Amino acid sequence: MLKNEFIYLEAQSCVNDKAVAGINRLNLYQFKKPSYFCIMLEDKNPQRTAIENLGEFGLIDHLTKNFEIKKKSTVKGVGDDAAVLDFQDKHVVLTTDFLIENVHFDLSYVPLKHLGYKAVIVNLSDVYAMNAEATQITVSIAISNRFPLEAIEELYSGIETAAKIYDIDVVGGDTTSSTKGLIISITAIGEADKEQVVYRKGAKPNDLLVLTGDIGAAYMGLQILKREKEVFKVNPNNQPDLTPYSYIIERQLKPEARKDIVELLEQLEVKPTAMVDISDGLSSEIIHICKQSEVGVELYENKIPLDPQVISTCEEFNLDSTTIALNGGEDYELLMTVDQKDFDKIKANPNLTVIGYVTDKDRGMHLITRGEQVIPIIAKGWNALSSENQE
Ligand code: ADP
Ligand code: MG
């Protein structure tokens, strides 16, 4: 994986003034009453600088003054009517995502710095899923007067951290007001040699179905955070021990995008026949590849990589871990299909797990369980438009 710095601990120490050395103390600032972010958002907070004092242009200058230009393809970044980019003879990939308060995130347990970091990651993940190198992003935000300057600075420090770690330039955006919540929209741009771009379409029968990392953790991390929020409402003095959940909470609050896999595939000289990132759960991503490539799939339950914390937390919540792997979301791993001739190149790699293989379209899409039952794969993943997901 990429450099694994615990930015939530950094955020913590600036909050508590005591360097807190362990994720089990996450609660100290997440759930201590009143929580840091609540204080920050309260009118009586002495550290609160109203954004009106700066004005729109003052705010943009303030937020973007530290962004340096690192990429050759950036001719002009922030500061003109539009950014200017030069990709010469490469293909350009472009992707955009919205994050809306109380639809996609809940500020009672997501620190703003993490939110900024994650907002970048979810976009970069889509660029890497095209087998491209991410190069630039634009960041658009809509904020209400509930947010002081200090809150937006936190958000931007997460964006800046991600831009540094993933080596991308922030080249523009837009800043406007909203009546209530916070809205963030990030657009990511990337480049690839024309022959290197990998689409969802392209999988062929007999290809291997390959997954990076492990899945289901981000979803279970979210279940823990939601549970702690409810406990906090009933008993604000409760100090939960989150040590047994450190990995899954990190996967939820600070996901990473698999830039390293794009580099690894290049090194191994493997070009997947199809690829997609896992944002909505394994089954819905398998369905994307199968529909667009017009193939079927056989997926083996016993091959799906799960972290032990996912298994133990599923047991605690009385959930089936395979169901969570298939339908949980936000793992930002990559799912790809690879020609059998490349098996020797990928087989020993700890980042890549073969979880099934591609079949003819008329064989359909199936999960083969540990008990050798054959179950059709259906999408139950996150549906952004379902009423369940509106708060
Ligand atoms: P315009 O009025 O032409 O939309 P703006 O005043 O909104 O221009 O933006 C001025 C410059 O600052 C542009 O380069 C724009 O891309 C950049 N910018 C605006 N808002 C943001 C933001 N939130 N983050 C990063 N860059 C921004
Ligand atoms: Mg503008």
Give the distance (Å) from ligand 2 centre to CA of residue 351.
41
Tens digits of residue pLDDT in 293-320: 999 999 999 999 999 999 999 999 999 9
Average pLDDT over residues 228-250: 83
Give, using CA atoms, the residue closest to atom 17 of ligand 1. 172
What confidence score (pLDDT) does residue 24 get?
A: 29
**Which of 19-28, 115-124, 154-163, 256-265 is predicted with the least confidence, judged by mean pLDDT?**
19-28
What confidence score (pLDDT) does residue 314 get?
A: 97
- Residue 22 pLDDT exceeds 50: no
Q: How confident is the model at residue 7 (pLDDT cuts 50, 70, 90)?
A: very low
The DSSP code for 124 is H
Length of the chain: 391
pTM for the whole thing?
A: 0.88
Residues ≥6 apart with Cβ < 8 Å to 183: 98, 99, 100, 101, 141, 142
What confidence score (pLDDT) does residue 343 get?
A: 98
Residues ≥6 apart with Cβ < 8 Å to 14: none
- Residue 38 pLDDT exceeds 90: no
- Residue 104 pLDDT exceeds 60: yes
What confidence score (pLDDT) does residue 383 get?
A: 53
Which ligand is located closest to the Cα atom of residue 163?
A: 1
Q: How confident is the model at residue 19 (pLDDT cuts 50, 70, 90)?
A: very low
- Asked whether 175 lines ligand 1 (CB < 6 A), one says yes
Give the distance (Å) from ligand 1 centre to CA of residue 82.
8
Give, using CA atoms, the residue closest to atom 6 of ligand 1. 57
Give the distance (Å) from ligand 1 centre to CA of residue 79.
7
Give the distance (Å) from ligand 1 centre to CA of residue 65.
12
What residue spans of the chain are helical by DSSP H?
A: 7-16, 26-30, 36-41, 55-64, 112-128, 149-165, 217-234, 246-253, 259-268, 282-293, 308-317, 321-327, 343-346
What confidence score (pLDDT) does residue 41 get?
A: 60
- Asked whether 60 lines ligand 1 (CB < 6 A), one says yes
Higher pLDDT, 249 or 232: 249
Please report how many Cα atoms fall inside a 13 Å half-sphere around the Cα of residue 46, on the Cβ side.
0
Q: How confident is the model at residue 51 (pLDDT cuts 50, 70, 90)?
A: confident
